[in-house]
A and B are shown apart, each in its own frame.
Chain A
Amino acid sequence: MSVDERLRAGLGRNASVVVPAGEARLVAVRRRHRRRITAMTVGGVGAAAATVVLGFTLVGGGAGRSAPEPLPPADSSAPLPTVTQDPGTGPIPDSTWRKVVTLEQAQDLGVPSARIVRDIGDDGRLPLELRLEGGRFTLTGDFGGAVAQTGDIGKVTYDEAGRLVVESLTCAACSDLTLTWRIEDSRLEITRMGARGGPMTRAVWLGTWQRAD
């Protein structure tokens, strides 16, 4: 085996044991940010008040006068200006779709048998859910416990021919996919994929998705 193959396989396997506590860490980040904003607000109000008092003292205007009214606290809950980079929805409306990849489909598309066992499992069925919302996609499924991630997440856009262009945030090898699609009744048919994407990626995306919402 070449050292490149060994490294790719070894790093992938070692990464699969890490199950990060994402939500707990997000809560911690939000809390820390709120504390910082509050400290900055309090500090800012304090500095402003000190400046006013100092100004009064320097010009002698404070003598014999009552203390100035305290400044109202800044409203830290007020919404910040909205970012203009808000991806719009495309021709496929915001929606949720489901499909099941079977063992036979994966074999027909040339998925290696080791990958089938790992990703599809002994029961020969891989149920998937695809959510399209606000120019983004979330793909979830029961990929089995041995893999590093249980799905994918990323952005969707449309090219000039109206094809769906998928950009994964988690998987470089399954990114920049160009998908030909059509909707018939409650079915989303993904019929073709561009040059990128290996057999398993094709097994996941191609085929008939049933609307689930």
Chain B
Amino acid sequence: MGTPEGREYDWYFRACFPRLTRTVYLMVHDQTLAEDIAQEALYRMLRHWRTVSAYDRPEAWARRVAIRVAVREIQRRAARPGKEQLAHHAPIEHLPDPDVASAVAELAPMQRAAVVLFYWDDLPVREIAEVLEVSESTVKQHLHRARHRLAVSLGEEVGEDVR
């Protein structure tokens, strides 16, 4: 894409793809799937580029799409019969902190997304609510429940709730 519009998109792709892939990876724990989802989100951004490029933060649009696709994918995988789930099981033992990965993988999809966006992407509750299309109080509830569950799984203390 040699046009100025195309170069602008390419720049955004290069800027967003690595971070987006890592965010999705922390939810799905499968690099190929994470790259597929990030690629799909950024492809949709290209299809709507004339509109999205006029936004203040086009990358936020792509992140919203990627997180929704990831949540749906986790739900879809969870609904599969046991043997199929095993076939798609991504090993996490090789990760630097497999305990955290395993504890996060036990969370419900929306809780997983909220935890990753809050602790890894450093997004404020307001922005997480926009990404997940829920209210801020729902996000706080997801984080509250997730933190308590993760604290038990990881054997760590629970501090003050997020604001």
Residues of A within 8 A of B (CB): 1-4, 6-18, 20-23, 25-26, 28-30, 32-33, 36, 79-86, 136, 148-149, 153-154, 169-170, 172-173
Contacts and interface: CB of A to CB of B under 8 A. Distances in A.
30 contacts: A2-B158, A3-B156, A6-B100, A7-B115, A8-B119, A11-B97, A11-B120, A13-B95, A13-B96, A14-B95, A15-B25, A17-B94, A20-B21, A20-B34, A25-B38, A26-B13, A28-B39, A29-B13, A33-B47, A36-B47, A82-B3, A82-B4, A85-B54, A86-B8, A148-B22, A149-B18, A153-B14, A153-B15, A154-B15, A169-B16
A116 B90 CA distance: 33
Task: State the main secondary structure of chain B at its contact with A.
Answer: helix
B1 interface: yes
Contacts of A15: 22-23, 25-26, 120
A83 B5 contact: yes
B79 to A, nearest CB: 25
Contact of A29 (B26, B46, B104): B46
Contact of B14 (A7, A10, A26): A26
Interface in B6-37: 8, 10-11, 13-19, 21-23, 25-26, 31, 34-35
B27 to A, nearest CB: 10
Given A13-B96, A18-B21, A36-B47, 11 more contacts: A14-B100, A20-B35, A25-B17, A25-B38, A28-B39, A30-B1, A85-B54, A148-B18, A149-B18, A169-B16, A170-B19
A83 B53 contact: yes
B82 interface: no
**Of residues B96, B123, B147, which shows the largest number of chain A Cβ atoms within 10 Å of its Cβ?**
B96
A1 B43 contact: no
A15 B122 CA distance: 14
Nearest to B122: A172
Contacts, number: 141
Given A3-B156, A4-B119, A22-B17, A32 B43 contact: yes
Given A7-B100, A15-B22, A172 B156 contact: no
A26 B97 contact: no
Nearest to B120: A11
Contacts of B129: none
B150 A3 contact: yes
Contacts of A148: 18, 22
Contacts of A13: 95-97
B96 A80 contact: no
Contacts of A18: 21-22, 25, 31, 34
B31 to A, nearest CB: 6
Given A17-B96, A85-B54, A2 B159 contact: yes
Interface string B98-119: 0111001000000000011001
Nearest to A24: B35
B156 A6 contact: yes
Contact of B159 (A3, A17, A32, A153): A3
A103 B120 CA distance: 27
Q: 7 smallest A-B Cβ distances: which pairs? A: A10-B100, A10-B97, A13-B96, A172-B122, A20-B21, A3-B156, A15-B22
